[in-house]
Chains A and B, each alone.
Chain A
Amino acid sequence: MNRSTFFRFAAPSIVIMTLLMLVPLLMAIWLGMHFMTYNNVRDPQFVGLRNYVDVLTDPRFWQSYRFTLVYMATVIPATIVVGFSIALLLDQVSGFARGVYLSIFLLPFIIVPIVGTLMYKQLFEPSGLFTWILRNFFHYKFRYNAFTVKALIVLYGIWYVSPFPMVTYFAGLQTLPQDLIEAASIDGASRWQKIRHIIIPHVSSLTIMILLISIMDAYRVFDSVFVLTELNPIYKADTIMTYTFQTAISVQRLGKANAMAVLTVVGVMIFLIPNLIQSYKQQIEER
């Protein structure tokens, strides 16, 4: 395919991505330099870098940044361990049972996140099933407070994200070279040794991919936190996204929210740029 045909085919997609992704991103940087509320959207007032300084000296911004990091540090390892274990177990069954399990396990991942969180939350309402179990069997009175809300966000994150590494690892296990496993069996390797020395190295490229996607997704977690905290500041459970949203919607400081979104983008670049460079090299080699 030559260059001009390529551009004719790809033009609609390139135009929409330029107009509605690249331009808005540059606009966000520009709007971040303005004092803007809902009353003066058409006529924002230029304030230079004041919003950016404002964000960087805002203790609530750093608090939400810390909680986002805590969320990433707990949810990502947990989902990888759970997903990998379940994938290994699922690999042991076959036929109809495998299909049924797989469909059930995928449900939390496919459902609307707002609805999924709402459903998970129903278990912890004062009349919820888990509240009752905790009270009756563990003598623990569940109440919403700064700690339990954070714990719920993490627990829900694990419930919701685990199917993704699970199905990825499961697909990876299907391409496992059988001769290696057989050779290991002949040498008398135990099941654990096979997992440790054959399977984990075999899926390591998948682990890296899962890590990258999970980091990007966890960094922008919003829906579940929105539903579980109802944006109530007393729980101190804001993530970067929910705090930016609040600055835009409740506090109505659109300029500062834009500046915050831009700084968030800068923050994620640390993870993103090495990955992008690697993908670039890979694509150049493949062509």
Chain B
Amino acid sequence: MEKVRHPLGRVLIHLALMLFALYSILPFYWTAAQSFKTLKDANSRTPKFFFSPTWDNYRDLWLRAVPENGATIAYFVLLAIILLVALLLFAQYIPVRNGVIYAIATVGFGALLWAIPRLIEVSNFYDYFINTIIVTVGTVVVSISIGSLAGYALARYTGLAAVVILIGALAFRALPRLAFILPYYWIGVATGLLDTHLLVILTLVAVNQPFTIWMLRSFFMDIPRELEEAAMVDGCNRLTAFTRVIIPIMWPGIISTALFSLLLAYNEFLLVRLLTQTNWTLPVAISRFTGGEDPRHLTLAAASAVSATIPIVLVILFFQKNLVKGLAAGAVKG
């Protein structure tokens, strides 16, 4: 619709949007503030808007014991993270192939995650963080690999079988998950896979598969058939035409879908809670802080909430365009 021109109208529009933005981020601001307060400040009945910030909550959340040279190590780790993030953010300006830079960054993050527990005594929370990374990466890799094969096939094949699979997937996506998750427990006991990453990854892949194939299919539908037909005339078979011609131009769509898979895996609580006893991921670990007997649960919960949010905010900032594109594609195409 055409824009409001009246200055007063413009001011009111921005005012309304700002108020809504304030309401949207208020819980984030408040929790972040609480996480940097001492327990006394955090429990103050009159909110302390000005306080001397402390790292204690984060230290107690992540570390079991405080080493003597703790500050040096902390600076080193922080510096390494900033360098790696900067490398990723400015990848397009560096005159090296992007794939190489991403590979270096991945190896760098891996090395960092490997090195940290060898430098300092970390707490269980670090283990839960590592579990979350393993489960999330595993789920994304498996569900995107098998999902793009299926999504491509569903976009190109017009037989009745394809329609039946699509509608079946739609039905499964809509059903309350507990109906599958409770039997997973039985499967876990029967196969002895309870409390393993493998079971969590496989079940998360299954639960996310309907969404993944629908979304990937809608992206594959946009790619003209002539493209792979030309490749097949030039001597490719279906599979090589798919991997060499279709996948490279599908990257934006694949990244959008991967982002949603990532969020679904990272966010999952119910499934992980039922299928694990010790190998928790972050949502399950954090849920333990709500209403604990520990008087410090208030500030520790705040610190854990912020800790779990930062990685996801970084990922979202990095892939924001893909995310909005994916949301819009899902919306417009249904």
Contact = CB atoms under 8 A, between A and B. Distances in A.
Interface of A: 1-3, 5-7, 9-10, 12-14, 16-17, 19-25, 27-28, 31, 41-42, 86, 88-94, 97, 101-108, 110-116, 118-123, 125-129, 132, 159, 163, 167-168, 171-173, 175-176, 181, 185, 191, 194-195, 199, 205-206, 209, 216, 219-220, 222-223, 226-227, 230, 240-241, 244-245, 248-249, 254, 257-258, 261-262, 264-265, 268, 272, 275-276, 279-280, 283-284, 287
Contacts of A25: 175, 179-180, 183
Given A5-B238, A219-B176, A172 B332 contact: yes
Interface of A (DSSP majority class): helix
Nearest to A12: B146
Contacts, number: 298
A264 B176 contact: yes
A238 B271 CA distance: 19
A112 B308 contact: yes
Contact of B290 (A16, A17, A121): A121
B172 A21 contact: yes
Contacts of A21: 172, 180, 206-207, 209-210
Contacts of A93: 13-14, 17
Contact of B150 (A1, A10, A120, A167): A10
Contact of B27 (A86, A120, A206, A254): A120
B27 A122 contact: yes
Nearest to A99: B320
A24 B282 CA distance: 26
A28 B179 contact: yes
B24 A279 contact: no
Interface of B, helix, strand, loop or mixed by DSSP:
helix
A170 B180 CA distance: 34
A279 B170 contact: yes
A45 to B, nearest CB: 14
Interface residues of B, number: 104
B87 interface: no
Contact of B183 (A31, A126, A220, A283): A31
Interface string B131-156: 00000000000000111011011101
Interface of B: 1-4, 10, 13-14, 16-17, 20-21, 23-28, 30-31, 34, 42-47, 145-147, 149-150, 152-154, 156-159, 161-163, 165-180, 182-187, 189-190, 202-203, 205-207, 209-210, 213, 238, 242, 263, 266-267, 269-270, 274, 282-283, 286-287, 289-291, 298, 301-302, 305, 308-309, 312, 316, 320, 323-324, 327-328, 331-332, 334
B191 to A, nearest CB: 12
Contacts of A94: 3
A222 B178 CA distance: 10
B176 A17 contact: no
A168 B327 contact: yes
A273 B263 CA distance: 28
